[in-house]
Amino acid sequence: MNPSIARVRIDVPVRHLDRDFDYLIPEGMDVRVGSRVRVRFSGRLVDAYVVDVATEAEVERVSPIQRCVGGIPTLTPATLALVQAVAERYAGTFWDVARTAVPPRHATAERAVVTAPASTGTGTAPTGAWPRYSGGPELLTTIASRTVTRAVWSSAPGTDFVNEVVELVAANPGGTLVLVPDMRDVRRVTASLAPVVGAEALSTLVNEMGPQRRYREFLRTLLGSARVCVGNRSAAFAPVADLSLIILWDDADDTYCEPRAPYWDTREVCALRSHLADCSLVVGGPARSVVTQAWVERGWATSIVAAERSTLRVRGLRPEDAAGDEAAASARIPRRAWEAAKEGLAHGPVLVSVARRGYIPALVCQGCGTPVQCSCGGPLRMASSGAVECRWCGSTAPAGACRVCGDTRIRATSIGAERTAEELGRAFPGVPVTFSQADHMVERVTDRPAIVVATAGAEPIVDGGFAAAVILDAGSRSVRLTQAEDAVHRWFSVSLRVRAEAPVFVTAPESDAGVQALLRWDAPWFASRELAERESARLPPATRLAAISGARADIDAVVSAITCTHIVLGPVEVGDAWRVIVIAPRAEGTAFTHQLRHAAMTRSAHRGAGAIAIHVDPRDIDE
DNA sequence: ATGACCAATTGA
DNA sequence: CAATTGGTCATG
């Protein structure tokens, strides 16, 4: 007998209705798991997805499905499982995840795609990128044999990730998903892949697309006419047919964090998907993120690094540099940095990397300039009264001696990147100065001498590479959870854009572990040290952390329902709401997020309960 | 959320 | 005693 009951999830903005409801499938209506439907719920018409079918309803009275939207079930069983896993992992709702996993239907696009013939196209496979890595050729063999593997790679000096990606895609016999941070990378990867796999076999899924094009590309992916999908953040859910490999480039990039609830992270979505779909996952980056290093150290992924040494002439601040150079000790540019820039300008463009625009307020140690932290690991703020307070736990008597130099004095400072860069530009009259930043990115520059000032992640590309790089604000640390990791990530990203044997000047002490990592071109070593620090500070990825904000009564109700091992920091007042941070051991992570989700559902059913926001494992705890 | 429903509260 | 308000409950 045909199933006549559909179990659906409805799109309503209340947490406690995030459960199955049974509806009758009317005679002749083609409704399957994954179908998008319209149902009457509590008197009104709402959107829903069919998540299961059955022959018998769980309740006596079931109302019929009103309408089936579109001819094709768009939420495939694999994506459905992923959506549910992500909702569970981030203590979020099914629909908050499903909304980004499946783009809105577009009838015109549907008609065009369903009638178009499928195509196959294969060109010649390129070679040469992976032999530069130890374990590289073996990775290609593993991928080619369709053996499931998880690997993380740190770029070899002077390489362009596009080549590594193209070779992996060419080697993979099944469907491939390629995720990159931004549109520029999507264009570059697509342009290089088109001659290899054929333009017809490629689909592009990016957030910035219009509804029609986006739905068309989604359907081409779903129906298997495109066997390779290239996209950014939310393409992590793309229903690639016969998926056997996910490639994630530059997982440390912040654009991989979904800005809307439940604030999932593409890197984590990929890990879940690789597990659920039993497909390979290869994550690459200029350096090594602490999270992927944790994967390696846990034995879940293998580490792939450069087989060769870097020939870059990396130079940091040395104690002797300060002598006779007052600028080195202040916020201005040290003499050695000018020299590196000058040397580079004789041969080509010079990349000047700045942390970010504007001025960043921070509290630092008076002795050595290291940002001060609370004993709980949180950032400190100075109130207008001059009192120092922790932004995480609210403690007003934090700090103690600086963990670097032992000094107990604190000073407030601000970091001005832009002015320093302009100063550098003025110092070389007649040399053109270009600015590149995230919202106004310069994609490519010529190889003529120029000063190119770029913020993190917005470094332009030059054929042949930059003739030198100067990394400013390297010593300045933000209050971010991942500050040290971010800084080193920027140094490696910049260094990747520089020609062999060219000078790279970093405005951080050469004794600094990050500079040592850059000198030795050993990002995993640095990530491993950072991971050890996170472990002792009980921070992710060593633990599972949830930042919960809302009204105090709502927060209290949710936090008091947690029964697994946990610690609570706060609450602290953030704007007109309150926030607590709850940390649980990683081993109890599943129970922790499950309890959080359950508690939030229960609370939401109460009269007078307000909305609460739950951020699980945020990359940063914002103000 | 939103409407249904029951109960305690208030007004003529 | 009816109208009003406030809280609980279910929504298929």
* Percentage of residues of chain A with pLDDT beyond 70: 86
Nearest residue to B4, CA vs C1'? A42
The nucleotide whose C1' lies nearest the CA of A14 is B1
Number of C-beta neighbours around residue A400 at 10 A: 12
Angle between helices A161-171 and A183-197 (to 10 degrees): 40
Q: Which residue has the higher pLDDT, A370 or A567?
A: A567
Q: Is the dihedral of CA A359, A419, A483, A402 positive or negative?
A: negative
Q: Which nucleotide is nearest to A17 (CA to C1')?
A: C11
Chain B nucleotides near the protein (CB, 7 A): 1-3
DSSP class of residue A323 equals T
- A16 sits within 7 Å of strand B by its CB: yes
For position A368, what pLDDT does the model report?
56
Q: Indicate whether A161 pLDDT > 50.
A: yes
Point out the least confidently predicted range of A156-160, A382-386, A498-502, A535-539: A382-386
Residues lining strand C, beta carbon within 7 angstroms = A 7, 16-17, 20-23, 39-43, 57-59, 61-63, 605-608
CA of A444 to C1' of B12 (A): 83
Q: Which residues pair with A152 in a beta bridge?
A: A283, A303
Which nucleotide has its C1' atom closest to residue A44's CA?
A: B2
Cis before A585? omega within 30: no
pLDDT reading at A487 higher than 60: yes
Q: Closest nucleotide (CA of A42 to C1')?
A: C11
Distance of CA A416 to the CA centre of its chain: 26
Per-residue 3-state assignment (H helix, E strand, C coil) for A491-549:
HHHHHHCECCCCEEEEEEECCCHHHHHHHHCCHHHHHHHHHHHHHHCCCCCCEEEEEEE
Instruction: Specify the nucleotide whose C1' lies closest to residue A39 (CA).
Output: C12
**pLDDT > 70? residue A1:** no
Quick check: A481 pLDDT over 80? Answer: no
CA of A17 to C1' of B2 (A): 13
Strand C bases within 7 angstroms of protein beta carbons: 7-12
What is the reported pLDDT for A362? 61
Residue A25 CA, nucleotide B5 C1', distance (Å): 31
Q: What is the pLDDT of residues A197-226, one digit of tens each?
A: 999 999 999 988 999 999 999 999 999 999
Protein CA at A610 to nucleotide C1' at B6, angstroms:
25
Distance A606 CA to C7 C1' (A): 10
What's the pLDDT score for residue A112?
A: 85
Give phi and psi for A183, each to the nearest 5. -60, -40
Span CA (A597) to C1' (B9), Å: 38
- Please, which residues bridge with residue A15 across strands? none
Q: What is the DSSP letter of A17?
A: G
Distance B2 C1' – A6 CA (angstroms): 24
Q: Which of A322, A86, A103 shows the shortest CA–CA distance to A206?
A: A103
Residue A50 near residue A6 (C-beta atoms within 8 A)? yes
Q: Measure the CA–CA gap between A165 and A13, rounded to whole angstroms.
A: 40
What is the structure's pLDDT at A566? 96
pTM of the model: 0.90
Q: CA A155, CA A172: separation in Å to the nearest integer?
A: 20
- Whether residue A64 is predicted with pLDDT greater than 90 in this model: the reply is yes
> Could you tell me if A418 and A426 are in contact, meaning their C-beta atoms sit under 8 angstroms apart?
no
Phi, psi of A335, deg, nearest 5 = -55, -40
CB A581 within 8 A of CB A516: no
Neighbour count for residue A380 (Cβ, 10 Å): 21
3-state secondary structure A269-288: HHHHHHHHCCCEEEEEECCC
pLDDT confidence of A7, banded at 50, 70, 90? Answer: very high
Q: How far is the CA of A607 from the C1' of C7 (A)?
A: 8
What pLDDT was estimated at residue A328?
42
The closest alpha carbon to A616, from A129, A265, A281, belongs to: A265
Say how far A550 CA is from C5 C1', in Å.
28
Question: Would you say residue A480 has pLDDT above 90?
Answer: no
Nucleotide nearest to A20 (CA to C1'): C12
pLDDT number for residue A474: 66
* Residue A38 phi, psi (nearest 5): -115, 130
The gap between A95 CA and C8 C1' (Å) is 27
Burial class (CB in 10 A: 0-12, 13-18, 19+), A116: middle
For A217-264, the pLDDT digits (tens) are: 999 999 999 999 999 999 999 999 999 999 999 999 999 999 999 999
Query: Which pLDDT belongs to residue A329?
Result: 42
> Per-residue pLDDT averaged across A85-102, rounded?
97
Burial state string for A233-255 with b = 16 or more CB within 10 A and e = fewer than 16: bbbbbbbbbebbbbbbbbbbbbb
What is d(CA A83, CA A13) in angstroms, rounded to the nearest whole number? 17
- Chain segment A262-302, per-residue pLDDT in tens: 999 999 999 999 999 999 999 999 999 999 999 999 999 99
**Is residue A531 scored above 60 in pLDDT?**
yes
Q: Is the CB of residue A128 inside 7 Å of nucleic acid strand B?
A: no
Nearest nucleotide, C1' to the C-alpha of A13?
B1
CA distances from A369 to A222, A325, A398, A513 (A): 53, 18, 17, 16
E-assigned strand segments in A366-487: 380-382, 388-390, 410-416, 433-436, 444-445, 451-455, 461-462, 468-471
> Is pLDDT of A548 > 90?
yes
User: Is the Cα dihedral A410, A411, A417, A422 positive or negative?
Assistant: negative
| Residue A19 Cβ < 7 Å to strand B | no
pLDDT of residue A475: 60
Is strand B in 7 Å reach of the CB of A43?
Answer: yes
Q: Which nucleotide is nearest, taking the CA of residue A604 and each C1'?
A: B1
Straight-line distance from CA A59 to C1' C11, in Å?
A: 13
Distances from the Cα of A420 to the Cα of A260, A331, A335, A343, A354, angstroms: 35, 8, 13, 19, 9
State, as a whole number of angstroms, the distance between the CA of A608 and the C1' of C2: 29
- Condensed to tens digits (0 to 9), the pLDDT of residues A372-411 reads 767 666 667 766 566 777 766 777 765 566 655 667 777 6
The one-letter code for the residue type at A426 is R
